[in-house]
């Protein structure tokens, strides 16, 4: 148990964007020296106000924005190097469900074809085998086979979110990062998606990094919570401990925003 | 602004070199006779006799004589540069008056359409501009010539405009004498180019008028005219300046066709006559002149644009 | 009548005799005309040239094949129209982009015009020109006005203008199509590659584009055509070569915008290759501008070919531009150049109408969610 390296290990991660307002070569550091570790089967919540750098962190991990400094290791291997050598293998280590569920899907591609494309790429299942795999994926996230024929704009917000999760699951990743999967949804739909996630994590022994901008979302499904503020992690603690005794003033402010039961 | 202007100037110089090079390449790869005629004629005495120059030498000669303003000499027309320059005013008169008409028509029709958007008038004008936009200049010229010159003649009447040429046979006594000769050719260019400008203006005006601040200006009770011109036209016109740069090559090639249709002795017609008379120096000289004219016109459009919108200097630099 | 047309129910009767008519009455001009035209042409052919058709049908000759094609198209149109009229419109069925383009009345007219000229230039020569080719060459007199014998009159060289018109349609439309599509192919490839890849590739390609756009291309083409002997394919190639920059510019702009879209990032995160993202995701999403640009490129190429032949610089064979040149001043012999000139404008207008409709349908600012 102790011998196995963590499925995801982020150390000293720094990411910056070019920022014209700070001069011709000015840069704005959106993520600044973040350390975070995920064990197999663990669910960690990443919480912080809008603009604190949560999405940037996630995007850097999956290689959508370049890492400026620090390291991202998956199963003990440097993920950046792995991605250069074998992009598909890297994709199977860590997968992400993007914040903008509709924007993350090609508007001209039917759901079935979007899922099939990823399946084909990763395990080569084509034809009827591929169709079966697509149907199985859809069933896994609580959608019906008929949804495969829809275009993204013909789905509801919750359904789109499920499609995004299904597509990420298609590669059978070790780690699934979900960027604010429920922020845009009605509260009742939020609960459905969170329940689905919790079930998937248990069934597939998945590690989950669940991003949210308020603590209530992560409370019931995460073992640990990391609080992010202005590009840094200000506090990381087991969920119960954090809710019971927050150490950071910012965490306390966040907690105050959570409706008490 | 100054550094913007310098940059545009540098681009124009590079472009001009490009034009010279493209023309040179046309000549260099041309089949036998034409090629040696063109390559050797620029070098005074060596016509016919000298040995074929190598590529580098020939290119150097080509650029060198261009820099001196020397377009070579031809048996038929003598000094090509002088021959073409003598005809340049007629082409310039046509292009400039055509452009002015085009802007007047185009902006006028476009504003009218935007002001009456969705009405029958707007629809009819939209159809009309699509047709005019689709018609080649030579066909529009032939139609106008048919309607105002040849149909009346067929019916035994006086033509409304002179048949061909640029000036009365005996020579012009005043500037006014030129105008009847200019009307139909300029109108042709005005219609063909104006249609494109009208389509652009209509779309740009509608977009500008849909902006929030224009709506609120309306709500404040500003008169419709004021809204249309102060807010709509101003925003719409700025990009039009750069559009004119794009239209410039169209204007110049349009001149070739219009001069051919109406037998106006400008540079375009000179080129066509040169082709018939195997006077290749004049042909290439004309091509070079049109090429350089396009470069200069583009430069002017760029500078006007930078001057009209000071922000552009920064944006382009960035 | 109106309500009949609207519901397309009682249209069955009409559809039997005039397939396409109910659809036109219901405002679906393109589909209607596309069905009506081959039907009417086939009937006309059968009435006017029954002897020819009956003797040649089933033979392997050009005439036989052409009449077969026309009759088959008419049959298809008939079957389609009947079936369409008798199926009730699906309630609340979503309309895809293509359906909306075809059902736009102006685009419909444009498509119908294009189909008409395509059919005319392909099927016209074998079916409409007399079998004996010598007959039309030596007509009695030059400059005969249009008549039954010579539907478009004769020219100064005593040739039948209609025959030259049909030949010209093939040349002008053929070269225009070839050059337009060729230019589009180069422009789309380079533009999409530059815009999607970015970096120095983008800068180099766009510098070239800026350069070519600033050149007075037609003047250079004139010099080219005067100095060199061009065959149809080389001519099309050179016309294509002056077309590509405009297309590259618009496609590049679209590709730049698409490259920043989230779904492209998502695909990368799945390890999908850059090439696949470009060809399977970016290009299909740019199909609106690609289509508009291609239609306009074809229109432009037609005009360039006609323009060069008008100046006497095109191919030696017939072209509409050549016919217009030979027509000279429009009066008194308006028929020599008039038909070609009007047809040229008509085809270019049609391409513009289709392009406008495509632009409207694919306009990102328009509401595309159905
Ligand atoms: N592509 C980008 N270019 C420049 N700045 C960006 C970009 N994306 C995000 N930012 C900035 O980085 C900061 C963090 O953004 P983000 O990671 O999206 O925050 P969060 O997901 O926590 O809301 C914000 O200030 C945002 O404005
Ligand atoms: Mg975010």
Tell whether C54 and C187 lie within a shared domain: no
How would you label B237-256 residue by residue, b for 16+ Cβ within 10 Å and e otherwise? bbebbbbbbebbbbbbbbbb
- The domain containing residue C170 runs over which residues? 161-367
Q: Which residues of A touch C263 (CB under 8 A)?
A: 103-107
Q: Give the SS3 label for residue A211.
A: strand
> Counting ligands in written order, which one lies closest to the CA of residue A181?
2
Q: Are strands B73-74 and B78-79 parallel, antiparallel or unpaired?
A: antiparallel
Does a structural domain hold residue C118?
Answer: no
Helix H or strand E segment including A34: strand A27-38
Tell whether C91 and C7 lie within a shared domain: yes
Does a structural domain hold residue C121?
Answer: no
Enter the tokens of residue B154: 């067929």
Instruction: Answer whether C228 touches B (CB < 8 Å).
Output: yes
Q: Give the SS3 label for residue B71.
A: coil
Q: What is the set of domains in chain A, with CATH numbers?
A: 8-256 (3.40.50.300)
> Tokens 């704009």 correspond to what residue?
A153
Tell whether C40 and C175 lie within a shared domain: no
Residues sharing a CB contact under 8 Å with residue B93, sequence separation 6 or more, in sequence order: B178, B182
Q: Point out the ligand 1 atom lying closest to the alpha carbon of residue A48.
A: 22
**Whose CA is closest to atom 2 on ligand 1?**
A17
Tell whether C49 and C165 lie within a shared domain: no
Interface test with C, best of A80, A104, A166, A170 (most C CBs within 10 A): A104
Contact at CB, C270 and A167, closer than 8 angstroms: yes
Which residue among B23, B26, B130 places its CB closest to the CB of C353?
Answer: B130
Separation in Å, CA of C329 to nearest CA in chain B: 6
Mean pLDDT for A231-249 is 89
Domain ranges of chain B: 2-74, 80-317
Domain CATH code at residue C209? 1.10.3720.10
Q: Separation of A161 CA from ligand 1 center, angstroms?
A: 21
- pLDDT of C59 reads 67
> Which residue among C73, C95, C117 closes a domain?
C95
At residue A25, φ and ψ (nearest 5 deg) are -115, 20
Give all chains having 3 or more CB-to-CB distances under 8 Å with chain C: A, B
A40 and A174 Cβ atoms separated by less than 8 Å? yes
Does a structural domain hold residue C219?
Answer: yes
- Give, for all 370 residues of chain C, the pLDDT tens digit: 344 444 455 567 777 778 878 877 877 777 788 888 888 888 887 777 777 777 776 666 777 777 778 888 888 888 888 787 777 665 444 557 777 777 777 888 888 889 888 888 887 776 666 665 555 555 566 666 776 666 777 777 667 777 788 888 888 899 999 999 999 999 999 999 999 998 899 999 988 888 888 777 888 888 888 888 888 888 899 999 888 998 999 999 999 999 999 999 999 999 999 999 999 999 999 988 899 899 999 999 999 999 998 888 877 777 888 888 887 787 777 777 778 889 999 999 999 999 888 888 876 444 333 2
- Please provide the CATH number assigned to the domain covering B80-317: 1.10.3720.10
Tell whether C235 and C337 lie within a shared domain: yes
Enter the tokens of residue B11: 């681009």
Q: What are the CA-CA distances from residue B260 to residues A233, B89, B251, B269, B272 (Å)?
A: 76, 16, 14, 5, 8
- Give, for all 318 residues of chain B, the pLDDT tens digit: 678 889 889 988 988 888 888 888 888 887 766 666 666 554 443 444 455 667 787 788 788 888 888 787 777 777 888 888 888 888 888 998 999 999 999 999 998 998 888 889 999 999 999 999 899 999 999 999 888 877 777 777 777 777 777 777 777 677 777 777 888 899 999 999 999 899 888 888 888 887 777 777 777 777 777 777 777 777 777 777 777 777 777 788 888 899 998 888 888 888 888 888 888 888 888 888 888 888 888 888 888 877 776 665 444 433
> Which residue among C95, C126, C149 closes a domain?
C95
Tell whether C69 and C211 lie within a shared domain: no
Does a structural domain hold residue C141?
Answer: no
* Residue to probe by mutation, ligand 1, list A51, A62, A98, A180, most atoms within 8 Å of CB: A51
Does a structural domain hold residue C17?
Answer: yes
Closest CA to A213 of A166, A178, A189, A241: A178
Question: Strand locations in B25-173, DSSP E?
Answer: 73-74, 78-79
Distance CA C272, CA C251 (A): 22
Tell whether C252 and C336 lie within a shared domain: yes
If one counts the domains in chain C, the total is: 2
A114 and A167 Cβ atoms separated by less than 8 Å? yes
- Give A212's strand partners: A47
Give all chains having 3 or more CB-to-CB distances under 8 Å with chain A: C
Enter the tokens of residue C49: 């040239």
Tell whether C214 and C360 lie within a shared domain: yes
- pLDDT of B41 reads 53
Spell out which residues line ligand 1, taking CB within 6 angstroms: A 17, 30, 48, 50-56
HEC profile for chain C?
CHHHHHHCCCHHHHHHHCCCHHHHHCCCHHHHHHHHHHHHHHHHHHHHCHHHHHHHCCCCCHHHHHHHHHHHHHHHHHHHHHHHHHCCCCCCCCCCHHHHHHHCHHHHHHHHHHHHHHHHHHHHHHHHCCCCHHHHHCCCCCCCCCCCCCCCCECCCCCEHHHHHHHHHHHHHHHHHHHHHHHHHHHHHHHHHHHHHCHHHHHHHHHHHHHHHHCCHHHHHHHHHHHCCCCHHHHHHHHHHHHHHHHHHHHHHHHHHHHCCHHHHHHHHCCCCHHHHHHHHHHHHCHHHHHHHHHHHHHHHHHHHHHHHHCCCCCCCCCHHHHHHHHCCCCCCHHHHHHHHHHHHHHHHHHHHHHHHHHHHHCCCCCCCC
- Alpha-carbon torsion (B44, B50, B55, B56), positive or negative: negative
Q: Which residues of A touch C364 (CB under 8 A)?
A: none
Enter the tokens of residue A217: 């979302």
Interface test with C, best of B198, B244, B253, B278 (most C CBs within 10 A): B253
> Counting ligands in written order, which one lies closest to the CA of residue A49?
1
Tell whether C56 and C176 lie within a shared domain: no
């Amino acid at each position: 148990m102790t011998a196995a390296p963590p499925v995801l290990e982020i150390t000293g991660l720094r990411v910056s964007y070019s920022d014209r307002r700070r001069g011709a070569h000015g840069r704005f550091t959106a993520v600044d020296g973040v350390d975070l570790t995920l064990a197999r089967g663990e669910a960690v919540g990443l919480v912080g106000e809008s603009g604190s750098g949560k999405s940037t962190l996630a995007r850097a991990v999956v290689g959508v924005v370049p890492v400026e400094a620090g390291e991202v290791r998956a199963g003990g291997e440097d993920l950046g190097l792995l991605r250069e050598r074998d992009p598909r293998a890297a994709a199977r280590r860590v997968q992400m469900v993007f914040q903008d569920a509709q924007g993350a899907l090609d508007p001209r591609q039917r759901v079935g074809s979007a899922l099939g494309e990823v399946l084909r790429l990763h395990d080569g299942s084509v034809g009827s085998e591929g169709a079966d795999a697509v149907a199985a994926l859809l069933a896994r996230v609580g959608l019906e086979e008929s949804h495969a024929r829809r275009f993204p704009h013909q789905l509801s917000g919750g359904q789109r979110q499920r499609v995004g999760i299904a597509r990420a699951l298609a590669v059978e990743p070790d780690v699934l990062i979900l960027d604010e999967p429920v922020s845009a949804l009605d509260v009742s739909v939020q609960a459905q998606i969170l329940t689905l996630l919790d079930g998937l994590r248990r069934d597939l022994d998945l590690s989950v990094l669940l991003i949210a901008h308020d603590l209530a979302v992560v409370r019931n499904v995460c073992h640990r919570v990391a609080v992010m503020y202005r590009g840094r992690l200000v506090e990381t603690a087991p969920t119960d401990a954090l809710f019971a005794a927050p150490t950071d003033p910012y965490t306390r402010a966040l907690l105050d925003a959570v409706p008490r039961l | 602004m100054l550094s913007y202007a310098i940059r545009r100037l540098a681009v124009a110089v590079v472009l001009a070199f490009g034009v010279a090079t493209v023309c040179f390449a046309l000549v260099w790869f041309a089949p036998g006779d034409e090629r040696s005629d063109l390559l050797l004629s620029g070098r005074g005495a060596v016509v016919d006799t000298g040995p074929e120059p190598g590529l580098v030498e020939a290119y150097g000669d080509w650029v060198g004589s261009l820099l001196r303003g020397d377009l070579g000499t031809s048996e038929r027309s003598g000094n090509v540069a002088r021959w073409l320059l003598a005809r340049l005013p007629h082409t310039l008169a046509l292009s400039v008056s055509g452009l002015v008409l085009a802007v007047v028509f185009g902006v006028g029709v476009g504003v009218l359409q935007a002001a009456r958007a969705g009405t029958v008038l707007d629809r009819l004008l939209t159809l009309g501009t699509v047709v005019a936009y689709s018609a080649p200049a030579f066909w529009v010229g032939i139609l106008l010539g048919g309607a105002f010159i040849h149909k009346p003649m067929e019916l035994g009447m006086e033509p409304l405009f002179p048949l061909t040429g640029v000036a009365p046979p005996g020579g012009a006594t005043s500037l006014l004498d030129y105008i009847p000769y200019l009307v139909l050719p300029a109108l042709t260019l005005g219609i063909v180019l104006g249609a494109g400008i009208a389509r652009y203006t209509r779309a740009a005006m509608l977009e500008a008028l849909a902006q929030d601040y224009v709506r609120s200006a309306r709500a404040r009770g500003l008169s419709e005219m004021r809204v249309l011109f102060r807010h709509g036209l101003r925003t719409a016109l700025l990009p039009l300046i750069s559009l004119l740069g794009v239209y410039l090559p169209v204007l110049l090639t349009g001149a070739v066709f219009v001069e051919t249709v109406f037998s106006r002795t400008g540079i375009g017609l000179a080129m066509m006559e040169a082709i018939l008379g195997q006077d290749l120096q004049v042909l290439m000289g004309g091509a070079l002149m049109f090429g350089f004219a396009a470069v200069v016109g583009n430069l002017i459009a760029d500078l006007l644009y930078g001057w009209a919108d000071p922000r552009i200097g920064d944006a382009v630099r960035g | 009548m109106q309500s009949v047309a609207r519901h397309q129910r009682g249209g069955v009767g009409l559809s039997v005799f005039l397939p396409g008519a109910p659809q036109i009455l219901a405002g679906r001009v393109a589909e209607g005309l596309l069905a009506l035209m081959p039907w009417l042409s086939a009937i006309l052919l059968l009435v006017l040239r029954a002897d020819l058709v009956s003797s040649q049908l089933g033979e392997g000759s050009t005439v036989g094949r052409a009449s077969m094609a026309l009759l088959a198209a008419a049959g298809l149109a008939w079957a389609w129209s009947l079936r369409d009229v008798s199926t009730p419109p699906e309630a609340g069925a979503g309309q895809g982009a293509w359906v909306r383009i075809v059902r736009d009345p102006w685009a419909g007219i444009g498509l119908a015009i294009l189909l008409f000229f395509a059919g005319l230039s392909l099927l016209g020569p074998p079916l409409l020109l007399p079998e004996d080719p010598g007959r039309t060459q030596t007509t009695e007199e030059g400059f005969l006005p249009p008549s039954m014998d010579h539907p478009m009159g004769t020219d100064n060289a005593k040739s039948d203008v209609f025959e030259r018109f049909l030949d010209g349609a093939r040349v002008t439309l053929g070269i225009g199509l070839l050059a337009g599509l060729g230019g589009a192919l180069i422009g789309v490839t380079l533009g999409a590659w530059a815009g999607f890849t970015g970096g120095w590739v983008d800068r180099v390609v766009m510098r070239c584009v800026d350069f070519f756009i600033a050149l007075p291309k037609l003047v250079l083409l004139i010099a080219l055509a005067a100095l060199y002997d061009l065959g149809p394919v080389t001519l099309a190639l050179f016309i294509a070569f002056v077309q590509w920059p405009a297309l590259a510019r618009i496609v590049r702009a679209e590709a730049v915008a698409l490259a920043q879209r989230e779904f492209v990032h998502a695909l990368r995160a799945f390890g999908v290759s850059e090439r696949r993202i470009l060809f399977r995701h970016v290009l299909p999403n740019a199909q609106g501008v690609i289509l508009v640009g291609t239609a306009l490129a074809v229109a432009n190429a037609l005009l360039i070919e006609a323009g060069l032949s008008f100046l006497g610089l095109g191919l030696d064979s017939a072209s509409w531009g050549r016919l217009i040149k030979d027509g000279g001043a429009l009066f008194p012999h308006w028929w020599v150049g008039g038909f070609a000139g009007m047809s040229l404008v008509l085809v270019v207008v049609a391409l513009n109408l289709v392009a406008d409709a495509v632009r409207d349908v694919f306009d990102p600012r328009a509401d595309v969610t159905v």
